[in-house]
């Protein structure tokens, strides 16, 4: 499996580049330093956008550019097909910011990428970044500062706020991965534990979680399985959310005891994770440990 530690040389294509979001974010990613070498758009009329050459499918784009990584900014109901296109073309890592991919499509996409050995980050993710090198997706530059903290988050905005406040206090991130807010994720926190354990720049790990699903519990179990030796911190949103309502993210849905806050917190604490109640406490706690 490809490492999520992208560099400013990793060749990247953008599927859906001719859409509104595609045009905007191709420019912003390039300005940040991402080596965006091609775009995919079904239209044959446009040849380039923001100076980036366009192709009608991933196979053409990969053959011409040698891209290994794709960011797919296509509609929720087109995403499964776009991912099939990317996997067939030999792409090794796909980031899918699109919100609202049907869960049963995501199940198919997950099986597809797993069988092909492709790293899928998403859906409903703001993307990922290696600060001061390259970013894939929407992460705001003001929150990105290079440093020792590995960061994984289900939420975009809560991670922006956290990264921003930490950066203001001098704490930067190593590899920042938005695992996304959907119930079925291509990559879950637990899948990335071995990566962060081995990553030399990462000296500590922060997960920004929220109610719904079992990702935090499985992450806690993975920390034990892999005897993860670096300090781990967590912030979990949705402690007081009502049951039976998806709180903005499709994955942030509790029913009965399913996905509740208490079980997540207990599992994380039992695995030695320091769980914070507030953003301020999190920033103070991590700053004290890492600066």
Partner 1 sequence: MYLLEHDAKQLLAAHGIPVPAGCVITDAGRQPRLPPGPWVVKGQITAGGRGKAGLIQKAATPAEVRSRTASMLGQQLKGRTVKEVRVEQQIAGASEAYIGIMLDPAVAGVRIIMTAQGGMDVESLPRDALQVSTAAPDAESISAVVDKLSAAVGGVAGAALAQAGRAMAQAFVAEEALLVEINPLFVHADGSWIAGDAKFVTDDSALPRQSVQREFLNRKSSPYLETALKDAHGCDYVVVDPEGEIALLTTGAGLSMMLIDEMRASGLKPYNFLDIRTGGLRGEIKRLVNVLHWMCEGRRVRVLLINIFAGITELGEFSKLLVSALQAVPDFKMPVVARLVGNGMETARSVLADAGIPLHDDLDAALAEVHRHLEEQR
Residues that bind partner 1 (CB under 8 A): 24, 28, 76-77, 100-104, 107-108, 110-111, 114, 126, 138-140, 142-143, 153-161, 164, 181, 183-185, 188, 190, 208, 210-211, 213-215, 218, 235, 237-250, 252-253, 255-258, 277-280
Return the residue matching tokens 């390039």. 30
Q: Minimal distance in Å, beta carbon 32 to partner 1? A: 12
Q: Which is nearer to partner 1, 45 or 244 (CB)?
A: 244
Residues 197 and 199: their CA atoms lie apart, in Å, by 6
Query: Hey, is 113 helix, strand or coil?
Result: helix
Q: Concatenated DSSP letters for 85-106?
A: HHHHTT-SEEEE--S---HHHH
Q: Cβ-count burial of 156 within 10 angstroms (0-12 exposed, 13-18 middle, 19+ buried)?
A: buried
Least distance to partner 1, CB of residue 103, Å: 4
Residue 67 or 223: the one with the smaller Cβ distance to partner 1 is 223
- Residue number with CB closer to partner 1 (85 or 210): 210
Note if 104 is an active site residue: no
Handedness of CA 180, 86, 30, 52 (dihedral sign): negative
Whether 48 and 27 have beta carbons less than 8 Å apart is answered as: no
Of 212, 145, 139, 205, give the one whose Cα is nearest residue 181.
212
Name the catalytic one among 25, 226, 249, 258. Answer: 249
Q: How far is the CB of 55 from partner 1 (least distance, A)?
A: 26
The backbone torsions φ and ψ at residue 146, rounded to the nearest 5 degrees and listed phi first, read: -70, 140
Strand-pair category, 93-96 with 69-72: parallel
Min dist. Cβ of residue 257 to partner 1 (A):
6
Question: Residue 56 or 157: which CB sits closer to partner 1?
Answer: 157
Least Cβ distance, residue 122 to partner 1 (angstroms):
13
CB nearer to partner 1: pick between 66 and 170: 170
Tell whether the torsion through CA atoms of 268, 238, 247 and 74 is positive or negative.
Answer: negative
Give the residue numbers annotated as catalytic, written as ranges.
249
């Amino acid at each position: 499996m490809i490492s999520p530690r992208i560099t400013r040389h990793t060749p990247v294509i953008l599927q859906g580049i001719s859409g509104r979001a595609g045009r905007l974010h191709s420019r912003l990613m390039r300005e940040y330093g991402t080596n965006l070498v091609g775009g995919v758009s079904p239209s044959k009329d446009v040849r380039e956008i923001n100076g980036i050459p366009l192709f009608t499918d991933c196979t053409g784009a990969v053959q011409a550019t040698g891209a290994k990584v794709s960011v797919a900014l296509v509609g929720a109901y087109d995403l499964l097909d776009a991912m099939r296109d990317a996997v067939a073309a030999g792409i090794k890592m796909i980031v899918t910011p699109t919100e609202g991919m049907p869960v049963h499509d995501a199940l198919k996409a997950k099986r597809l990428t797993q069988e092909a050995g492709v790293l899928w980050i998403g859906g409903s993710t703001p993307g990922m970044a290696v600060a001061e090198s390259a970013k894939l997706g929407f992460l705001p530059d003001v929150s990105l500062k290079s440093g020792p903290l590995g960061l994984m988050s289900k939420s975009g905005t809560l991670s922006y706020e956290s990264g921003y406040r930490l950066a203001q206090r001098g704490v930067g991130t190593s590899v920042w991965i938005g695992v996304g807010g959907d119930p079925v994720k291509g990559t879950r926190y637990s899948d990335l534990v071995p990566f962060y354990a081995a990553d030399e720049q990462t000296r500590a790990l922060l997960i920004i979680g929220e109610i719904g699903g079992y990702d935090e519990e499985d992450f806690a179990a993975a920390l034990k399985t892999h005897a993860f030796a670096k300090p781990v911190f967590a912030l979990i949103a949705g402690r007081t959310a009502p049951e039976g309502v998806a709180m903005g993210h499709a994955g942030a849905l509790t029913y009965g005891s399913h996905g509740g806050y208490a079980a997540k917190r207990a599992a994380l604490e039992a695995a030695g994770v320091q769980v914070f109640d507030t953003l301020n406490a999190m920033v103070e706690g991590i700053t004290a440990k890492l600066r």
